Structure 1
């Protein structure tokens, strides 16, 4: 069972990806952490850039046996060419140049076409670049683990750690085991650093996980024939980039507004064509239910649209993906985005805690909780997350807010087991928070609803929410949770306000000699520090006020 303390420590482990820090602490009223010690600097909130890429998918129904045979042969032929080109790109390493790229494309054109060759070489280059970034991330992870182990080994056994700094190991046996692990990690870092310096990458076409499944077929519940079918389907290549100005935005894989699909066959397979100019027309039609009108507008205007045909070997179904780029849009300023208030969201491992805040930073109405269960298959986890975000966006639209405030979380440096020792449950809490998936989904889905996203620094949100907002917002019938109180701090931070509910200097005495001392509104609010108006009416309800 996960305790609230695990969530509190998980929040403290979050490292913001914002690098510009302009304030040492929230002012006014946000300077106290409640536990003493120095506070790290907080970065200002910003409006997240909207996603410019769009991808939609539909199933191809009504394919004949001949259609599937042609798709399999074309995919296998182009997949073999893609494998050889990827090997050539990896062999070039850091010595690759534009001239070498053109040479690779010329070598592929004879066995396919110039457009197929361009798509293959671009895909190979993207795969190499992705592996290169993965190498850098792996080196960073190794350096972080080595640094933490080295620090803990340098401390006496049983030494206690400080705030954010781990202590020594609990026993001599654990100290000895970690010293051996440190040696193994250093050896891995030397090999990874040598590969990175030489530009050597390792890419598995079809996926490394599927390749490892070959040795565990019984555990995966697959036969050798089933695995072989999935492996071959994953290594096929049936992707084509779009070209603006060409007919229907793509000359290689063409889909008309009516849904007719035709493929430009490679030169060695031109005999399979059933249409002029070496093309093959499929019997199935593509019908995009999601964003179909947007796709049709692009196709009719001959704007670039990329397509990808692929087979789900487990279900035996063919699908087609359509993708395109949107023109960049101007980002709204923070003041315009928050002009109607915000909906603040606190992200957790199993739910989203949301609360509506007005422009003065006061919570309006009751908070909302959007649950999700990130267990099971990847498709189920993705569906759970999409359903929760859909409910959040619909509720935000009903409240009238035009912005959602979220934490700019990044737990990549905190998921290592070396930082948190034996606390496996805590590591599972951190890994369970869907930071990357939630951000990617929320950015694209919010853009479709016309809602802006405001990212804020996640430091001390739960701590200050529990200190300043949990008890005042609780009632006898309902107790505000720590996560709901944290959402208020997130929203106030997006609005440029402090975390505290009110800021008041100490009074001189119990009367009103200090005047009106609370600050509930913005700093520019007129009369916020003025004295209270004179009360002329009686203070009891039994006496009516005098007529004016």
Structure 2
């Protein structure tokens, strides 16, 4: 027990704090598309300049500089466009800082691992908690050179972090680097240029409660009419009063359309974003708004009727229903998904698997228990060495996307999500539940056993089961059972259950020794217990 890390308690996951829906802008005229590109390019240029000024200010930026930047942008656009641009700039700068910190932590982990392995003799075997030395002198020499490279990168990253320098590209670094690999990306120079201009456009506006339809800059009426407040230099292209341009299309949000209509009619804040999909030649409008914090269900209420334990894997979700006592009920379920192909295909596969899981849990009115997985430190190149397949397996698991999707979809269906500490769930599930749940007609996998372990931890029950008593005789002469619970768990040393009827030939019924007394324990100077030990039907609880 001393070598195990402390396991955190389970908790109920709060619901999402915002909603985002999207609809296609159909039947746009050529003039509409030309105006959208004109406005987006103009505001994108202003956003690029503002981002450059923000990055130049670094850590010395303050509220006065923010107000000065907004005043300068207001003169060439409008007050609300300037507010949206400056807010987007600050969000992008903060995101770059968080990415910079994560990059530094990854470099520190790599340097720490290589330094440790270089200090060991070549060929020395490693353990479960620490890797061993490198296999050959050639690998040792190559890793020594890599250590110098990572150290230089870490020093440069630390210098940028202390100076407040971030490296940001509007439009994305990936798209920028694609310019040098057009052949492998199967793009022409003109196609890349079109995507680059599209990615750098700015057509998004934050909502404002109390204003007409919740947004003065990009306004959508309850009937679906879309109009845009043009920047001051482009007011000459307006086709409506007050410098506005009305698009010829109508929008109707199929998903959460009633919620959106209620907010618009009540003039509550709704943020909009217009963007173009160059691959399909389509325009889309995305609406988003924040939702009030939903009061989560207490953990005790989520455990009332049991729950569904779910084990996340690279190609499927393994689920098993458990009752309130932690006993598996029925047969395990498997929800497969295929993560090959495009990003849209992978996202659709995840949503399809999650909706099947949620519908199954909803039919039984049960909560769902899932591990709080975080593989940010596990995907480093130096942690697993030559185990490339294992590194790809971990990196390919859509943990963050699956978790966000599950929480959002479960909140919509009114299903509670319970998160548990992932420590030892797979190991203890395979050790204590895989064999116990296997029969001639039931062949559960190790992932199914891990789902049982996750569910038991969410219910507050221990995962590890008691083993048979020592083989010498029915006492504790040879020490406690190998998987006995820790001393801090209540009920660990309670009296054993009373079995009616004669216990031994020398003791009549009703006169047996109490297993909880000191005399019943096999200690020096104490008589051994007369009551035989009888194991309950599997699974046992502590």
Same fold by TM-score greater than 0.5: yes
Contact 1:370 1:388 in 2 (8 A): yes
1:107-122 aligned at under 5 Å gives the runs: 107-122=72-87
Deviation at 1:502, TM superposition (A): 4.9
Q: Are 2:404 and 1:440 aligned?
A: yes
- d(CA) in 2 for partners of 1:434, 1:320: 27
Structure 1 partner of 2:387: 423
- d(CA) in 1 for partners of 2:465, 2:130: 31
Structure 2 partner of 1:268: 233
- d(CA) in 2 for partners of 1:459, 1:318: 46
1:10-25 aligned at under 5 Å gives the runs: none
Contact 1:93 1:198 in 2 (8 A): yes
Larger deviation, residues 432-441 vs 83-92 = 432-441
Deviation at 1:465, TM superposition (A): 1.0
- d(CA) in 2 for partners of 1:102, 1:409: 41
Contact 1:57 1:322 in 2 (8 A): yes
How many pairs does the alignment contain? Answer: 492
Q: Are 2:445 and 1:481 aligned?
A: yes
Larger deviation, residues 334-343 vs 163-172 = 334-343
Structure 1 partner of 2:57: 92
- d(CA) in 2 for partners of 1:502, 1:327: 46
Deviation at 1:174, TM superposition (A): 0.4
For structure 1, the 5+ residue unaligned runs are 1-30, 32-36, 512-516, 536-548
- Secondary structure at the aligned position of 1:289 is classed as coil
Deviation at 1:533, TM superposition (A): 4.7
Structure 1 partner of 2:425: 461
- d(CA) in 1 for partners of 2:441, 2:171: 56
Deviation at 1:438, TM superposition (A): 1.2
- d(CA) in 1 for partners of 2:353, 2:254: 21
1:483-502 aligned at under 5 Å gives the runs: 483-502=447-466
Structure 1 partner of 2:114: 149
- d(CA) in 1 for partners of 2:326, 2:36: 58
Deviation at 1:382, TM superposition (A): 0.9
- d(CA) in 2 for partners of 1:528, 1:256: 71
Structure 2 partner of 1:407: 371
Among 325, 331, 350, the residue aligned to 1:385:
350
Larger deviation, residues 334-343 vs 128-137 = 334-343
Deviation at 1:307, TM superposition (A): 0.2
Among 190, 215, 224, the residue aligned to 2:189:
224
- d(CA) in 2 for partners of 1:508, 1:161: 37
TM-score, length-normalised on structure 2?
A: 0.87
Contact 1:260 1:286 in 2 (8 A): yes
Structure 2 partner of 1:317: 282
Relative CO higher for 1 or 2, CA cutoff 8 Å, sep ≥ 6? Answer: 1
Deviation readout 1:64-91 (Å, 9 max, x if unpaired): 1111111010000100100100001000
- Secondary structure at the aligned position of 2:308 is classed as strand
- Secondary structure at the aligned position of 2:226 is classed as strand
Contact 1:135 1:192 in 2 (8 A): yes
Deviation at 1:332, TM superposition (A): 2.2
Deviation readout 1:481-504 (Å, 9 max, x if unpaired): 000001001000000001134577
Contact 1:253 1:263 in 2 (8 A): yes
For structure 2, the 5+ residue unaligned runs are 476-480, 503-542
- Secondary structure at the aligned position of 1:290 is classed as coil
Among 237, 244, 256, the residue aligned to 1:279:
244
Q: Are 2:328 and 1:358 aligned?
A: no
Contact 1:356 1:399 in 2 (8 A): no
Deviation readout 1:122-163 (Å, 9 max, x if unpaired): 000100000001110011000000000000000000011112
The RMSD of aligned alpha carbons is 2.2
Structure 1 partner of 2:535: none
Q: Are 2:492 and 1:530 aligned?
A: no
Deviation at 1:400, TM superposition (A): 2.1
Structure 2 partner of 1:56: 21
